[in-house]
Structure 1
Amino acid sequence: MSSKWYPKKGRVIFHIDMNCFYASVEMAYNPKLKGKPLAIAGNPEERKGIIVTSSYEARAKGVKTTMPLWEARKLCPNLIVMRPNFDRYRMASKEMFKMLADITPRVQPVSIDEGYMDISGCADLGSPPDIAENLQQRIKTELDLPCSIGIAPNKFLAKMASDMKKPMGITVLRKRDLPEKLWPLPVGEMYGIGGKTAAKLNSVAINTIGELATTDVYQLKQVLGINGERLRNRANGIDTRAVDPDAVHEFKSIGSSQTLPNDTTSEAEIRKLMHALADNVERRLKRKNAAGRGVQLMIRYHDLKTITRSKKLKIYIESKEDILHVANDLLQKHWNLEPIRLLGITVQDAEEKQHIAHQLDLFTYEKEAEKEKLYSVIDQLSTKYGKNPFKKLNKEQDKNQPRTSFQKDFLDDYKR
């Protein structure tokens, strides 16, 4: 068995993909929702809602992710709609990843509801399909959550395999299986290929993953640039990336964005949101113990036209005041005064402070030393009273918690 499933020079990789994660968590929390068409939608009152995810019962009626809520309700009149509860999803995610870590320390979370495992050294636990089945059943039994698992010699094939059977699927995808299982699929179904890339490939008569796998590299580079060779390698089952448990700590940017309740040109509303976004970014930088030396502003207008403008800095910044100063400067220079739908602020070129050689002149040092005393007092009071006593919080929600699944600050919580 060991020689069959655990080659000496190869790897055995799992990709775990939780099925309809947000909806499944709500069903586990309230079993009365099981078997019913359920959708999770962001800000349904303010924006008429965009579907974040939905149950399989809703999907059977045509409800899809990113679909406007009005359209989903037209397709499924009895649709149950709930707002996201990220604290609940985060807790479920943490418990799920703990179960993965019970099998191997080589676990790499990539989002709140999916991750990779390298079980190459787990021959004593049984065959990979047995390990996968036991893991799948444990998650279902203890958390009441369904998942699909892909088993393959590398991350790309494991990811493709986990998508092949849902819900509660276990799929093995070896390189020798590619001509039968992978190559007949439309090129647009390949992980890493979006709609625009698929259209470019289709325009040169590359319609299946198999056709991509056999296309001349030079031709692909003419169409897709250097990315063409990488995608061709993937189509041939070539992927040398290791499962990296520390990858979650790697980041180059930290940002926050938010849709306004209504398209607006009100400077007061825009200023209020800019403050909130800068506050969120400062908090996330502090959580990462990081700073950055670039700021990017994203503006999405009423007609969905989106622009991003950035500014590189000579020094690293981390405070709300510094972030807001640069972001406001970008807004003044690049806002065309048309109604704004969404704003986003991102600190770029971010690094952990321990990796930053911070050069300080005498005056800068004195100013920062004074700030550190204040920060220290605030932190002590925050620890004692549970919040920053110098800030008025408009909501009961703990703002230190992630507001969306796209913030990856918390993905190593399962280790604690």
Structure 2
Amino acid sequence: MIIHLDIDSFFASCERLSNPGLNGLPIAVGGRGDPFIFDKKSHKNIDLTLQNSGAFVPALFYDAKSSFDEYFIEGRKIRGIVITSSYEARAFGIRTGMTIREALQRCPNLIVLPPNHLFYHDRSHALKRYLQKRIPLLEQYSIDEFFGDLKGWVEDENVEAFIEKLRIDIAAEFGLPVSIGAAPSKWIAKMATSAAKPGGCKVLLKKDIAPFIDPLPIEAFPGIGRGFARRLRRYKIETLGQLKESKHLLYRWKKPGIQLYHRVNGDDNEPVIAGHDRRSIGISRTIDPLFDRAEIRRRLIILCRHLSQLIVRIDATPNTLFLGLKYQFGQKSKRSVTEPFTFSEAALRRKILALFETIDTYPSLAVIRIAVSCSNFQTKPATRGSLLFYEKEAKERSLWHQAAKVRQKYGIDTLKSAAEML
């Protein structure tokens, strides 16, 4: 059997660990698209991490000790969205992705807290280490979700007792409420967890899958978003049972359709994977509409600083760089380049700024989102770049490594380029 664990309202539950007075109250943890990263005033970054990923989980983050007004109020506007809420808050219709403004309108007594991502990461890592001692094969799916393979470890008839004891032990050890589902396949186990929430356990044997799955609406299955659901409904497919009867249609949609068909059937045989190779590292920010191209370049330089600090942590060199822009009326422009070069913060900055000059195809429009990423990593290459510029590039790389050490110790904003301050 495969099990799936999900920490209920994880960020909110962590806040209650820090402040038990929040127990039983409607609370929400809010987030913003980093209100500090482009600020010209001095501020110190706490830390950055590559160890967890997922929706609303940034790779870098700032001090969480801000008040509501300091973090969420900008001018006269309330900024930010709900990234998680307690079940008491959900009773008022508050959901992830809702604006803080709307959430407060629905529940005036809602307690909205700035995120404390370092603490959330710490609790997630501690729980992972704990689970690795209890489950022979563990996959961390996101900061608050795990898959475990119990095959050869726990007999099927003992799985229910095993996961119930695990749930109780986690609550005792960490003070975190956890829901656990078990099934013969990964995605059906995840569905079982959803049915067990909050704070319960559910086991689906092979004979239980069809009666459980078939009546559910198609959106209930993980991986079926609004776009895919619309596509299915064009063929009068409303439930997962109807989807299972449409093998011929799903197979016509090639890999995505075939994969979905077998996941819903529970015969996909997808394994629990203990680790994943990181394929890319990126940073993106949504911003207020910005016409000033000089300011956009300054912000790209800042993103390059943060991205290079992330890359130094994995001790690898990317071959591919990507830059994407989104404009105020929905237009998009993007491009990637693949070429070997001696990576450093300065080299990344030059190449990203050069990319910006080539892809800014709507110079009269305001930019509302910028994204920079690196991928196609090569570990410790012997020779890279041009021999003509080897000495210069080697110095830049050495300087970047020394700067990275200082930033790691004292904060990522300790050392900035002059162009960022203009």
- Give the TM bin, normalised by the shorter chain: 0.7 to 0.9
**Structure 1 position 115 matched with structure 2 position 141:** no
CA 1:42–1:285 in structure 2 vs 1: closer, same or farther (change >3 Å)?
same
Identify the residue that residue 196 of structure 1 maps to in structure 2: 227
Query: 1:2-401 to 2 correspondence within 5 Å?
Result: 12-43=1-32, 44-46=72-74, 48-123=79-154, 127-217=158-248, 219-222=249-252, 224-247=253-276, 250-260=277-287, 262-303=288-329, 305=330, 307-316=332-341, 318-335=343-360, 336=362, 337-349=364-376, 351-354=377-380, 356=381, 358-359=383-384, 362-363=387-388, 365-371=390-396, 373-374=398-399, 378=403, 386=410, 391-392=415-416
Letter in 1 for 2:204: L
Could you tell me how far 1:143 is from its partner in structure 2? 1.8
Could you tell me how far 1:71 is from its partner in structure 2? 1.5
CA 1:228–1:160 in structure 2 vs 1: closer, same or farther (change >3 Å)?
same
Distance 1:61 1:117 in 2: 34
Per-residue deviation, residues 263-309 of structure 1 (Å, max 9, x unmatched): 22233432332122111211111112222222222223334x26251
CA 1:67–1:235 in structure 2 vs 1: closer, same or farther (change >3 Å)?
same
Could you tell me how far 1:21 is from its partner in structure 2? 0.6
Could you tell me how far 1:147 is from its partner in structure 2? 1.2
SS of the counterpart of 2:167? helix
The 10-residue stretch of structure 1 (356-365 or 327-336) with the greater mean CA deviation from structure 2: 356-365
Per-residue deviation, residues 349-377 of structure 1 (Å, max 9, x unmatched): 2x2414x5645664455445444554565
Give unmatched runs, 5+ long, in structure 1: 1-11, 394-416
SS of the counterpart of 1:100? helix
Identity value in percent: 31
Letter in 2 for 1:245: A
Distance 1:309 1:13 in 2: 40
Distance 2:358 2:148 in 1: 47
Distance 2:412 2:217 in 1: 53
Greater relative contact order (Cα < 8 A, sep 6+): 2
Superposition TM-score, scaled by structure 1 size: 0.82
Per-residue deviation, residues 368-407 of structure 1 (Å, max 9, x unmatched): 5444554565567678x656897159xxxxxxxxxxxxxx
Distance 1:390 1:195 in 2: 43
SS of the counterpart of 1:101? helix
CA 1:205–1:317 in structure 2 vs 1: closer, same or farther (change >3 Å)?
farther
The 10-residue stretch of structure 1 (59-68 or 311-320) with the greater mean CA deviation from structure 2: 311-320
CA 1:380–1:21 in structure 2 vs 1: closer, same or farther (change >3 Å)?
closer
Distance 1:319 1:361 in 2: 14
Per-residue deviation, residues 122-173 of structure 1 (Å, max 9, x unmatched): 2399922222122211221222111111111221221111111211121112
Q: Is the 8 A contact 1:40 1:83 kept in 2?
A: yes
Identify the residue that residue 403 of structure 1 maps to in structure 2: none
Superposition TM-score, scaled by structure 2 size: 0.81
Could you tell me how far 1:225 is from its partner in structure 2? 3.6
The 10-residue stretch of structure 1 (359-368 or 22-31) with the greater mean CA deviation from structure 2: 359-368
Per-residue deviation, residues 71-127 of structure 1 (Å, max 9, x unmatched): 111211111111111111011111111221111341111211111111223239992
Question: What's the RMSD between the two structures over aligned residues?
Answer: 2.7
* Number of positions where the alignment pairs a residue of Structure 1 with one of Structure 2: 373
SS of the counterpart of 1:244? coil
Letter in 2 for 1:265: F
Distance 2:245 2:202 in 1: 25
The 10-residue stretch of structure 1 (89-98 or 169-178) with the greater mean CA deviation from structure 2: 169-178
Could you tell me how far 1:331 is from its partner in structure 2? 2.4
Q: Is the 8 A contact 2:342 2:385 kept in 1?
A: no
Give unmatched runs, 5+ long, in structure 2: 33-71, 418-422
Could you tell me how far 1:22 is from its partner in structure 2? 0.6
CA 1:197–1:317 in structure 2 vs 1: closer, same or farther (change >3 Å)?
farther
Letter in 2 for 1:118: D
Letter in 2 for 1:187: I
